[in-house]
Amino acid sequence: MNEFEEYRRASNEMEEDKQVQEIRAAIAALQLQLEQAEYPYRIRLSDAAARIVEKVLGVKKTVTLWGVTATYITGRKSTSWKAVAIEMDAPPSLVTKHTTVGDPSVKISLAN
């Protein structure tokens, strides 16, 4: 059996395991209870957060009050040096020379 088949079999067996299913159902029920209990607080938190963001953006500085810190972060500035080089008619070999490529990676997923 190859590793792809083993991966699929282990996934299928886990999904069919009655103990796993019961624990997932119990967690889902508890999660629903928690969400219902937290709901009124989440509404208040969201409303207060929106007002805090508006005020901090207005003063353009980090504010700490009542143990709550709202950190002001300036907008990110970036320059596409590749675009600059192309616009300045730099040879493609020069652009390539200064271009880096990250390491490849693998994502494993199951087709449904």
Q: How far apart are CA 102 and CA 96, in angstroms?
A: 14
Residues 76-90 have pLDDT tens digits of 888 988 889 889 999
pTM above 0.95, yes or no: no
Q: Where do the structural domains in the chain lie, given as residue ranges? A: 3-75
pLDDT tens column, 23-74: 999 999 999 999 999 999 999 999 999 999 999 999 999 999 999 999 999 9
Cα gap 4→16, rounded to integer Å: 19
